[in-house]
């Protein structure tokens, strides 16, 4: 069973539907016991960094998320869920992120006629053999909606990048912790394959 963390994020139901489409049992919950008992956990996210950290703190989910990430259980952050895993964001100065991974989230610079937010389909450059991208061709297109981008401190954890005025660290993987800046649940067949790859982690052993 895959647990989707419920902290009032906007893309929870679309993630749940995508998991159902690939035949995976999912539960939406903020109950620590349910989250701890799941085989895998997903942290979705849409909105502002500070507001979402406020919600995670209000529901006392921060220590639970850190515990699950440290436990070795496969954990996936999606969109803002990726950003929250890191230490800080320019979107919300002074707000502490989960700090599970090291890096910062920066505003996409304006210029070159690029619209902010970065919204729509963009291609991925795959690097460092990420497990989420097994069977995914180089330059596959996925769906983004964001105004801030990740700059990971350790580029070895970066498994996919995208170009939009700057090099966006579009997906990371460190041990059992995975994350995507793009929305796999909105990325058609490519996104569903990425979710299948996440769901299969641990099953192939």
User: Taking a C-beta distance cutoff of 8 angstroms, is the pair 85, 111 a contact?
Assistant: no
The verdict on whether 169 is a catalytic residue reads no
- Cα separation, 168 vs 188, whole angstroms: 21
**Structure confidence at residue 111 (pLDDT):** 79
Are 40 and 15 in contact, with CB atoms under 8 Å apart?
Answer: no
Grouped pLDDT means (10 residues each) for the chain, 205 residues: 90 91 95 96 92 95 97 96 96 95 94 88 96 97 96 96 96 98 96 97 72
183 is catalytic: yes
- Which of the residues 79, 146, 169, 173 is marked catalytic? 79
pTM: 0.95
Res 204: pLDDT: 59
Active site residue 52: no
Q: Which of 24, 91, 173, 185 is catalytic?
A: 185
User: Of the listed 118, 146, 169, 183, which one is catalytic?
Assistant: 183
Predicted confidence at residue 12, as pLDDT, reads: 87
Query: Where do we find the tokens 């297109």?
Result: 141
pLDDT at residue 112 in the model: 76
Q: Which pLDDT tens digit goes with each residue over 126-179?
A: 998 999 999 999 999 999 999 999 999 999 999 999 999 999 999 999 999 999
- Cα angle value 200/201/205 (rounded, 5°): 100
pLDDT of residue 47: 86
Pick the CATH number of 2-200 from 3.90.420.10, 3.40.50.880, 3.40.50.1820, 3.40.50.300: 3.40.50.880
């Amino acid at each position: 069973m895959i647990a989707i963390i419920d902290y009032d994020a906007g893309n929870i139901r679309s993630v749940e539907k995508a998991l159902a489409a690939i035949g995976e049992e999912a539960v939406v919950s903020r109950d620590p016991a349910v989250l701890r008992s799941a085989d895998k956990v997903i942290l979705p996210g849409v909105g502002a960094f500070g507001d979402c950290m406020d919600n995670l703190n209000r529901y006392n989910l921060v220590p639970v998320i850190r515990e699950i990430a440290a436990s070795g259980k496969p954990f996936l952050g999606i969109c803002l869920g990726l950003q929250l895993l890191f230490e800080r964001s320019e979107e919300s100065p002074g707000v502490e992120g989960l700090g599970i991974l090291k890096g910062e989230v920066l505003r996409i610079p304006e210029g070159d006629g690029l619209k902010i937010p970065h919204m729509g389909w963009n291609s991925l450059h795959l690097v460092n053999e990420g497990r989420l991208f097994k069977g995914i061709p180089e330059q596959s297109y996925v769906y983004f909606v964001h105004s801030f981008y990740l700059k990971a401190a350790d580029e070895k954890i970066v498994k996919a990048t995208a170009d939009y005025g700057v090099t966006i660290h579009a997906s990371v993987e460190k041990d059992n912790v995975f994350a995507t800046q793009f929305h796999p649940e909105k990325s058609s067949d490519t996104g569903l394959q990425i979710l299948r790859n996440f769901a299969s982690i641990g099953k192939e052993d």
